[in-house]
Amino acid sequence: MCGITGWIDWNRDLTKDSDNLERMTDTLAPRGPDAAGTWISAHCALGHRRLSVIDPENGAQPMIRYTGDDKYVVVYNGELYNAPELKRELVSRGRSFTTNCDTEVLLVSFMEWGRACVERFNGIFAFAIWDVAAQELFLARDRLGVKPLFYSKQNELFIFGSEPKCILEHDAVKAEVGAEGLAEVFIIGPARTPGHGVYKAISEVRPGQCIVVNHVGVKTITYWKLQSSPHEHDVEQTAEQVRTLLKDTVERQLVSDVPVCTLLSGGLDSSALTALAVDYYKKNGQSNVHTYSVDYRDNDKHFQAHAFQPNSDAPWIERMTSHLGTIHHPIQFDTPELVAALKDATFARDLPGMADVDASLLLFCHEIKKGATVAISGEAADEIFGGYPWFHREEALNANTFPWSLATSMRGELLAPDIAKWIRPEEYIGDRYADAVAEVPLLDGENEVRKRMRRMSYLNITRFMPTLLDRKDRMSMAAGLEVRVPFCDHRLVEYVWNIPWEIKSAGDREKGILRKALTGILPQDVLTRKKSPYPKTHNPAYLAAVQGLLLDVLNDPSSPLLPLINVKKVRELVESDSAKSNIPWFGQLMSGPQLFAYLYQVNLWLTKYNVSIK
């Protein structure tokens, strides 16, 4: 993977502004530690940082190609998993290639098919192509939004980048946040409304969208979205098709010129991907698969099962590594490391995030990077197959709001009264929920149960899943590690989207059809293991540490967080017994300790980025 940035300015000669481009590009160095490149012309500047995965010798960017006298320049972050097929078709159409990298396939695809090229891509990507003759910039983001892409439109300026930090580095962009941005942070966060960049001047290219920038203006085009259609297969046929699609996408995503590993928790999703990887490696005479897992020192002593985290991973990881014969690397962190990493995790996201859930993943990725450059991970299975608790609980299904964020009133009460009045917490989240529900592509003739579950699936795919994909991208790329997510293959998502709920939950189990599809691939006890989320620390030392961090913020009159919160209520909460609560205020993992860490991250973000509230 890589990092991309650049901008268009119709009123200036950008060849005199190379210092600005170099600074913007340098902010993305962790995403691309292997090489850097820039390209600049009168009105277009492009920057790139490279993490070499395919054809390391020849894939330098920005890449330039010609059709006759017409010149095209690309900066690209991602992987095309169907690059070999596309390349063969392009060669048959008279196109030639000088490298083996998918960057050239992507660029030549654009030269051949224009904007419609994105409809042919199977992969994860964010890219920008400058058509010199047309004086037009074309940007696109993959269908599920695995790879990030942000932009800022200011008069005759159009600035873009993989992360907000590179856009904020441009002289024309200020770190300003208004009422909507604060509502995103304090009420929606650590999620974000699709398209919202939190900063006033920054927006996000939504998944499945592309943008055209030329002298006429800026035009946004949606090239992909979920579409509802009748499901024609029975249970057995559905399980077979899921198995076929998953096997194909895993095998495509194992292709690399550098070491590939898998992240293994012993749960259904990661175990399935690892088993398929082991089978593929054996068939192709490759060496054993390396697997990695994460845990926390003394977690076995402090773990207590509860509704949102029913069991620990360790015994299940051992079960799968023994069964598959992988070379396993258990990674473990202690509380001081976890607390210290909250800072780097905030800077990696350019926003407050999922507290220790982010921090531990960042540390984990740094450790994996010592032995691998590419990892396979199980994100998105719960969203597309219906694995989360809120798919199966009446109170969540009937909540009339985002089911992973049921604590709006509590969160609102922690705000300063004037801030709460300004951002209108209940109204804001209600509007965002209504927007999401209005997008759901319903299918005529479906009964109420199917409609309700389709709506829940849509909310998860378009509103919750992006939070985890953001987290995985920022934390992994901050460590220079590429993480691939096979369950985000758009063919699999499109197929599973239209599976009726009674088939999707076959056997009266969460992700029932996936379990059925994996029969014979996984041991029976792993197939039936109850879902347990990404592990978090249960060490009371972590709670004490983040309480101390937040109290330091509250006791410092210069803390920029203080004017935004009800200091008295927050202090009471920090010092109360309810601080130990396992009841989440966001998702399954973020309860009392994570709330304190999140507020600490908010203060850190306001300070580090010198955020102005306007």
Q: Which residues are designated catalytic? A: 2
For residue 63, report the phi and psi dihedrals to the nearest 5 degrees: -100, 140
Q: What residues have CB less than 8 Å from 271, skipping those under 6 apart?
A: 264, 265, 316, 320, 522, 526
Between the two ends of the chain, the Cα-to-Cα distance in Å is: 35
Where are the extended beta strands (E) located within 413-537? 482-484
Residue 469's contacts (CB-CB under 8 Å, 6 or more residues apart) are: 144, 145, 146, 379, 380, 485, 488
CA 610 and chain centroid, separation: 25
* Nearest residue to 37 (alpha-carbon basis) of 55, 25, 28, 24: 25
**Positive or negative: CA dihedral 11, 14, 15, 17:** positive
Question: Can you tell me the distance from the alpha carbon of 270 to that of 522, in angstroms, rounded to the nearest whole number?
Answer: 11
In 365-481, the DSSP E strands lie at 374-376
Among candidate residues 521, 502, 589, 489, the one with its CA nearest the CA of residue 124: 489
Strands (E), 286-423: 290-296, 327-333, 374-376
Q: What is the DSSP string of 363-383?
A: HHHHHHHTT-SEEE--TTHHH
Task: Provide the sign of the torsion angle of the four alpha carbons 25, 346, 382, 266, taken in this order.
Answer: positive
Q: Specify the length of the chain in residues.
A: 614
Q: Is 315 exposed, middle or buried (0-12, 13-18, 19+ CB in 10 A)?
A: exposed
Which residue is it, tokens 């995503």?
253
Closest by Cα among 590, 594, 602 to 563: 602
